[in-house]
């Protein structure tokens, strides 16, 4: 179950990554003149290859994809109510979480959740402090390096986590000597693993706004570089930055391999451990992690749809 818990958020993240690039534009086009709906077509028009699918086809595709995602989730929920192998159902696994001695029983799990949240925060910090300014700088001042930066940021997605760990192990032997063996130091490795997702989210937003023109306009009005970044660019990159942050959080909360192989305790390694003695509780926490990932996805979707005027109001 721990493996399932670890894998599902990654699936969700992969879907988000594909979706974030397009809908991030903060600049909505001016209202277009009234024109026939692109969906409206003459009754006698023949169906052609590449045409927009019919309503029925859309619903069918949505239904199949929905089922692929929902069936495991429903099975997990059903599992949490099972009463052992007796075939009957009980709520005791859920109520047990709120029992008097749950804090003691699941202390390790709660500690792991805390570790994962700290890791998520530090990873997001790394993305915002290192990746974002670098991307803006490359976009504005060194556009020729854009391809190189993209290549570097995409590399982690092509390297299996196990290979990454082999390379990171000697590095972490130094990190432990310098910074100690605290779990938060894993964030350095996670900062690398989230690069492809964070890069895509931010780059999509950078491409959607005239960054150079806005920066130049602000500087002709008297703004220095930091003011341009903070006052002009960040508000317009808000969606990309938030999407990158949420995706990073989702990746960190679902990460298992690196933490396990570097002997650190995070949510996923703890879930695996708990699942060996209490699989129901492990699944309940896996569901909670999934729910959090879904909420983050919803927030990203909402951000993509919001216009400046609505945000203002």
Which residues are at the interface with another protein (CB under 8 A)?
26-30, 209-210, 213-214, 216-224, 227, 232, 235-236, 307-309, 311-312
DSSP one-letter code for 222? T
Measured from the CB atom, the residue of 87 and 222 that comes closer to another protein is 222
Measured from the CB atom, the residue of 105 and 219 that comes closer to another protein is 219
CB of 141 to another protein, least distance (A): 12
CB of 218 to another protein, least distance (A): 7
CB of 304 to another protein, least distance (A): 15
CA distance 45 to 163: 54
Cα angle 278, 280, 283; round to 5: 115
Measured from the CB atom, the residue of 263 and 309 that comes closer to another protein is 309
CB of 208 to another protein, least distance (A): 10
Largest CA distance in the chain: 75
Measured from the CB atom, the residue of 27 and 103 that comes closer to another protein is 27
Measured from the CB atom, the residue of 39 and 312 that comes closer to another protein is 312
Burial 17-27 (b: 16+ CB within 10 A, else e): bebbbeebebe
CB of 61 to another protein, least distance (A): 33
CB of 201 to another protein, least distance (A): 18
Cα angle 160, 162, 166; round to 5: 120
Question: What sign results for the dihedral spanned by CA atoms 266, 270, 271, 273?
Answer: positive
CA distance 9 to 12: 5
Measured from the CB atom, the residue of 16 and 303 that comes closer to another protein is 303
Cα angle 20, 26, 27; round to 5: 130
Q: Dig out the tokens for 101 from the structure.
A: 């001695």
CA distance 102 to 100: 6
Q: Dig out the tokens for 259 from the structure.
A: 């933490």
């Amino acid at each position: 179950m721990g493996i399932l818990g670890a894998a599902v958020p990654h699936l969700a993240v992969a879907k988000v990554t594909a979706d974030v690039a397009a809908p991030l534009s903060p600049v909505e086009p001016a209202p277009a003149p009234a024109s026939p709906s692109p969906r409206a077509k003459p009754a006698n028009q023949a169906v052609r290859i590449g045409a927009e699918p019919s309503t029925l086809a859309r619903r069918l595709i949505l239904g199949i994809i929905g089922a692929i995602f929902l069936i495991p989730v429903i099975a997990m929920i059903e599992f949490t109510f099972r009463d052992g192998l007796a075939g009957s159902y009980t709520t005791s696994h859920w109520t047990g979480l709120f029992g008097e001695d749950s804090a003691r029983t699941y202390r390790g799990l709660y500690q792991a959740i805390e570790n994962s949240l700290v890791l998520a925060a530090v990873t997001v910090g790394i993305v915002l402090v290192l990746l974002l300014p670098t991307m803006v700088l490359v976009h504005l001042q060194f556009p020729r390096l854009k391809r190189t930066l993209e290549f570097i940021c995409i590399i982690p997605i092509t390297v299996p986590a196990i290979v990454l760990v082999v390379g990171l192990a000697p590095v972490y032997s130094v990190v432990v000597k310098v910074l100690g063996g605290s779990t938060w130091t894993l964030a350095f490795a996670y900062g690398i693993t989230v690069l492809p997702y964070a890069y895509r989210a931010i780059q999509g937003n950078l491409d959607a706004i005239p960054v150079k023109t806005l920066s130049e306009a602000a500087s002709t009005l008297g703004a220095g570089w930091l003011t341009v970044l903070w006052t002009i660019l960040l508000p317009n990159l808000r969606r990309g930055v938030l999407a990158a942050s949420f995706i990073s959080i989702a990746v960190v909360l679902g990460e298992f391999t690196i933490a396990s192989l570097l002997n650190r305790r995070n949510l996923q390694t703890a879930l695996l451990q708990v699942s060996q003695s209490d699989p129901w509780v492990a699944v309940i926490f896996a569901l909670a992690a999934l729910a959090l990932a879904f909420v983050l996805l919803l927030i990203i979707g909402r951000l993509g749809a919001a216009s400046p005027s609505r945000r203002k109001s």
